[in-house]
Protein backbone atom coordinates (compact mmCIF):
# COMPACT_ATOMS: atom_id res chain seq x y z
CA UNK A 1 0.00 0.00 0.00
CA UNK A 2 2.88 2.36 -0.72
CA UNK A 3 0.73 4.33 -3.18
CA UNK A 4 -1.76 5.13 -0.40
CA UNK A 5 0.98 5.98 2.12
CA UNK A 6 3.95 7.44 0.18
CA UNK A 7 5.52 9.22 3.19
CA UNK A 8 5.89 6.38 5.68
CA UNK A 9 8.06 6.69 8.78
CA UNK A 10 10.57 4.23 10.15
CA UNK A 11 9.52 1.50 12.56
CA UNK A 12 11.12 3.23 15.55
CA UNK A 13 9.32 6.48 14.74
CA UNK A 14 6.06 4.57 14.22
CA UNK A 15 6.23 3.09 17.72
CA UNK A 16 6.86 6.58 19.12
CA UNK A 17 3.87 8.08 17.28
CA UNK A 18 1.66 5.17 18.29
CA UNK A 19 1.40 6.56 21.83
CA UNK A 20 -0.43 9.66 20.57
CA UNK A 21 -3.36 7.51 19.41
CA UNK A 22 -3.96 6.00 22.87
CA UNK A 23 -6.37 8.64 24.21
CA UNK A 24 -8.49 9.03 21.02
CA UNK A 25 -8.77 5.24 20.71
CA UNK A 26 -9.83 4.91 24.35
CA UNK A 27 -12.58 7.50 23.90
CA UNK A 28 -13.69 5.83 20.64
CA UNK A 29 -13.83 2.44 22.37
CA UNK A 30 -15.90 3.74 25.28
CA UNK A 31 -18.32 5.73 23.11
CA UNK A 32 -18.78 3.59 19.99
CA UNK A 33 -17.59 0.02 20.59
CA UNK A 34 -19.34 -1.18 23.75
CA UNK A 35 -22.63 -3.10 23.69
CA UNK A 36 -25.77 -2.75 25.81
CA UNK A 37 -26.85 -5.00 28.64
CA UNK A 38 -29.72 -7.38 27.81
CA UNK A 39 -30.28 -8.71 31.34
CA UNK A 40 -27.96 -11.70 30.82
CA UNK A 41 -24.24 -11.03 31.23
CA UNK A 42 -21.07 -13.10 31.58
CA UNK A 43 -17.88 -12.05 33.36
CA UNK A 44 -14.37 -13.50 33.30
CA UNK A 45 -10.74 -12.48 33.54
CA UNK A 46 -7.87 -13.51 31.31
CA UNK A 47 -4.13 -13.13 31.89
CA UNK A 48 -2.14 -10.78 29.66
CA UNK A 49 1.39 -12.16 29.78
CA UNK A 50 4.30 -9.82 29.09
CA UNK A 51 6.97 -12.53 29.15
CA UNK A 52 7.49 -16.17 30.09
CA UNK A 53 7.16 -16.80 33.80
CA UNK A 54 10.78 -18.03 33.94
CA UNK A 55 12.04 -14.64 32.72
CA UNK A 56 10.12 -12.51 35.20
CA UNK A 57 13.30 -11.52 37.09
CA UNK A 58 15.04 -10.44 33.86
CA UNK A 59 12.14 -8.47 32.39
CA UNK A 60 12.78 -4.70 32.30
CA UNK A 61 10.05 -3.04 30.20
CA UNK A 62 7.31 -3.56 32.82
CA UNK A 63 9.54 -3.64 35.89
CA UNK A 64 7.51 -2.45 38.89
CA UNK A 65 4.25 -2.66 36.89
CA UNK A 66 3.65 -6.29 35.93
CA UNK A 67 2.97 -8.72 38.75
CA UNK A 68 3.06 -12.47 39.21
CA UNK A 69 -0.38 -14.06 39.30
CA UNK A 70 -2.09 -17.41 38.99
CA UNK A 71 -4.92 -18.53 36.73
CA UNK A 72 -6.48 -21.87 35.79
CA UNK A 73 -3.53 -22.50 33.42
CA UNK A 74 -0.90 -21.90 36.12
CA UNK A 75 1.40 -19.04 37.09
CA UNK A 76 1.99 -16.09 34.78
CA UNK A 77 3.77 -12.72 34.85
CA UNK A 78 1.84 -9.70 33.60
CA UNK A 79 -1.61 -8.21 33.97
CA UNK A 80 -5.27 -9.23 33.97
CA UNK A 81 -8.05 -8.13 31.66
CA UNK A 82 -11.53 -8.34 33.18
CA UNK A 83 -14.42 -8.20 30.70
CA UNK A 84 -18.20 -8.34 30.93
CA UNK A 85 -20.16 -9.41 27.84
CA UNK A 86 -23.83 -9.88 27.00
CA UNK A 87 -25.48 -12.93 25.41
CA UNK A 88 -24.68 -11.49 21.95
CA UNK A 89 -20.94 -11.61 22.59
CA UNK A 90 -20.63 -7.81 22.81
CA UNK A 91 -18.28 -6.32 25.39
CA UNK A 92 -20.20 -4.27 27.95
CA UNK A 93 -17.26 -3.10 30.04
CA UNK A 94 -13.64 -3.94 30.73
CA UNK A 95 -11.05 -3.31 33.40
CA UNK A 96 -7.28 -3.68 33.36
CA UNK A 97 -5.48 -4.67 36.60
CA UNK A 98 -2.25 -6.13 37.91
CA UNK A 99 -1.79 -9.87 37.57
CA UNK A 100 -2.10 -10.54 41.31
CA UNK A 101 -5.50 -8.84 41.76
CA UNK A 102 -8.36 -11.07 42.90
CA UNK A 103 -11.06 -11.60 40.25
CA UNK A 104 -13.76 -10.43 42.68
CA UNK A 105 -12.09 -7.10 43.41
CA UNK A 106 -13.20 -5.22 40.25
CA UNK A 107 -16.86 -6.15 40.85
CA UNK A 108 -16.73 -4.37 44.20
CA UNK A 109 -16.28 -1.13 42.26
CA UNK A 110 -19.72 0.18 41.32
CA UNK A 111 -18.33 1.99 38.27
CA UNK A 112 -17.36 -1.37 36.75
CA UNK A 113 -20.83 -2.96 37.02
CA UNK A 114 -22.86 0.24 36.69
CA UNK A 115 -24.02 -0.72 33.16
CA UNK A 116 -25.13 -4.23 34.18
CA UNK A 117 -28.48 -5.48 35.47
CA UNK A 118 -30.20 -8.82 35.70
CA UNK A 119 -28.22 -12.07 35.80
CA UNK A 120 -24.43 -12.15 35.87
CA UNK A 121 -22.87 -15.55 35.14
CA UNK A 122 -19.38 -16.21 36.54
CA UNK A 123 -17.04 -19.07 37.46
CA UNK A 124 -16.18 -20.37 40.94
CA UNK A 125 -13.50 -17.70 41.42
CA UNK A 126 -16.23 -15.11 41.99
CA UNK A 127 -17.91 -16.92 44.90
CA UNK A 128 -18.38 -14.49 47.80
CA UNK A 129 -21.37 -14.00 50.08
CA UNK A 130 -20.62 -10.33 50.69
CA UNK A 131 -20.15 -9.69 46.96
CA UNK A 132 -23.40 -11.50 46.16
CA UNK A 133 -25.31 -9.31 48.65
CA UNK A 134 -23.67 -6.12 47.37
CA UNK A 135 -24.54 -6.91 43.75
CA UNK A 136 -28.06 -8.01 44.67
CA UNK A 137 -28.71 -4.57 46.14
CA UNK A 138 -27.62 -3.10 42.79
CA UNK A 139 -30.17 -5.31 40.94
CA UNK A 140 -27.58 -7.86 39.81
CA UNK A 141 -28.04 -11.59 40.47
CA UNK A 142 -24.62 -13.26 40.60
CA UNK A 143 -24.82 -16.91 39.50
CA UNK A 144 -21.86 -19.27 39.96
CA UNK A 145 -21.24 -22.98 40.29
CA UNK A 146 -20.57 -24.39 43.75
CA UNK A 147 -17.27 -25.72 45.03
CA UNK A 148 -17.00 -29.33 46.16
CA UNK A 149 -16.89 -28.42 49.87
CA UNK A 150 -20.04 -26.26 49.67
CA UNK A 151 -23.56 -27.35 50.41
CA UNK A 152 -25.77 -27.91 47.41
CA UNK A 153 -28.56 -25.40 46.77
CA UNK A 154 -31.51 -25.32 44.43
CA UNK A 155 -31.38 -22.95 41.47
CA UNK A 156 -33.77 -22.25 38.64
CA UNK A 157 -33.50 -24.53 35.63
CA UNK A 158 -32.94 -21.49 33.41
CA UNK A 159 -30.00 -20.41 35.59
CA UNK A 160 -28.55 -23.93 35.47
CA UNK A 161 -28.64 -23.85 31.66
CA UNK A 162 -27.00 -20.41 31.59
CA UNK A 163 -24.16 -21.74 33.74
CA UNK A 164 -23.48 -24.32 31.06
CA UNK A 165 -23.18 -21.47 28.52
CA UNK A 166 -20.45 -19.67 30.50
CA UNK A 167 -17.86 -20.83 27.96
CA UNK A 168 -19.15 -17.98 25.79
CA UNK A 169 -16.99 -15.44 27.60
CA UNK A 170 -13.97 -17.75 27.35
CA UNK A 171 -14.51 -17.90 23.59
CA UNK A 172 -14.49 -14.09 23.49
CA UNK A 173 -11.20 -14.05 25.41
CA UNK A 174 -9.78 -16.54 22.94
CA UNK A 175 -10.76 -14.37 19.96
CA UNK A 176 -9.31 -11.28 21.61
CA UNK A 177 -5.95 -13.04 21.92
CA UNK A 178 -5.79 -15.07 18.72
CA UNK A 179 -7.65 -12.80 16.26
CA UNK A 180 -7.29 -9.30 17.72
CA UNK A 181 -3.83 -10.01 19.19
CA UNK A 182 -4.17 -8.14 22.48
CA UNK A 183 -1.33 -10.24 23.93
CA UNK A 184 2.27 -10.43 22.76
CA UNK A 185 5.68 -10.13 24.41
CA UNK A 186 7.46 -7.60 22.20
CA UNK A 187 6.36 -4.31 23.76
CA UNK A 188 8.88 -1.52 24.14
CA UNK A 189 6.99 0.63 26.62
CA UNK A 190 3.86 0.61 28.77
CA UNK A 191 1.97 3.18 26.67
CA UNK A 192 2.37 1.10 23.50
CA UNK A 193 1.20 -1.93 25.47
CA UNK A 194 -1.99 -0.06 26.36
CA UNK A 195 -2.40 1.14 22.77
CA UNK A 196 -2.22 -2.43 21.50
CA UNK A 197 -4.74 -3.58 24.11
CA UNK A 198 -7.25 -0.81 23.37
CA UNK A 199 -6.86 -1.29 19.60
CA UNK A 200 -7.55 -5.02 19.98
CA UNK A 201 -10.72 -4.40 22.00
CA UNK A 202 -11.92 -1.90 19.39
CA UNK A 203 -11.10 -4.31 16.56
CA UNK A 204 -13.20 -7.02 18.21
CA UNK A 205 -16.25 -4.77 17.90
CA UNK A 206 -15.91 -4.84 14.09
CA UNK A 207 -15.60 -8.61 13.72
CA UNK A 208 -18.31 -9.76 11.27
CA UNK A 209 -19.43 -12.60 13.54
CA UNK A 210 -19.20 -12.78 17.32
CA UNK A 211 -19.83 -15.80 19.54
CA UNK A 212 -23.35 -15.68 21.00
CA UNK A 213 -26.08 -17.83 22.52
CA UNK A 214 -29.67 -18.23 21.38
CA UNK A 215 -32.00 -17.36 24.26
CA UNK A 216 -34.96 -18.99 22.50
CA UNK A 217 -33.10 -22.31 22.39
CA UNK A 218 -32.36 -22.03 26.12
CA UNK A 219 -36.04 -21.45 26.91
CA UNK A 220 -37.00 -24.41 24.73
CA UNK A 221 -34.44 -26.61 26.47
CA UNK A 222 -35.82 -25.58 29.87
CA UNK A 223 -39.37 -26.50 28.81
CA UNK A 224 -38.20 -29.89 27.49
CA UNK A 225 -36.43 -30.69 30.75
CA UNK A 226 -39.50 -29.77 32.76
CA UNK A 227 -41.62 -32.03 30.60
CA UNK A 228 -39.15 -34.88 31.05
Q: What is the pLDDT of residues 13-35, one digit of tens each?
A: 888 888 888 999 999 999 999 99
Strand partners, 51: 77
Instruction: Tell me whether residue 4 is in a domain.
Output: no
In a domain, 95, yes or no: yes
CATH number at residue 221: 3.30.420.10
Model pLDDT, residue 219 = 55
Is residue 95 over pLDDT 90?
yes
> Which range of residues forms the domain containing residue 55?
34-227
Mean pLDDT for the stretch of residues 1-22? 85
Say whether pLDDT at 96 is over 60.
yes
In whole angstroms, what is the distance from residue 165 CA to residue 160 CA? Answer: 9
Report angle CA 113, 118, 121 to the nearest 5 degrees: 75
Q: Which of 11-20, 92-101, 153-162 has the highest mean pLDDT?
A: 92-101
How many domains is the chain partitioned into structurally? Answer: 1
Q: Are 37 and 86 in contact (CB under 8 A)?
A: yes
In a domain, 27, yes or no: no
- What is the Cα–Cα distance from 177 to 196, expressed in whole angstroms? 11
Give the mean model confidence (pLDDT) for residues 134-162. Answer: 82
Strands in the chain per DSSP E = 40-51, 67-71, 74-86, 91-98, 118-121, 140-143
Across the range 86-107, mean pLDDT stands at 93
Whether residue 93 is predicted with pLDDT greater than 80 in this model: the reply is yes
List beta partners, residue 45. 82
Compute the average pLDDT of residues 155-178.
Answer: 89
pTM of this structure: 0.86
What pLDDT does residue 100 have? 92
CA distances from 215 to 16, 33, 35, 38, 222 (A): 46, 23, 17, 11, 11
Amino acid sequence: MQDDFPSTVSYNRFTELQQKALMPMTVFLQVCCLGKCTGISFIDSTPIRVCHIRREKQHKVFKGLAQKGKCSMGWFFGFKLHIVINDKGEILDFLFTHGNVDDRQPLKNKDFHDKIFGKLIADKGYISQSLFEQLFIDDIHLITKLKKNMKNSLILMNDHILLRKRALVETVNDELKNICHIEHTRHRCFNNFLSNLIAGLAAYHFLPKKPSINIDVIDEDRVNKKAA
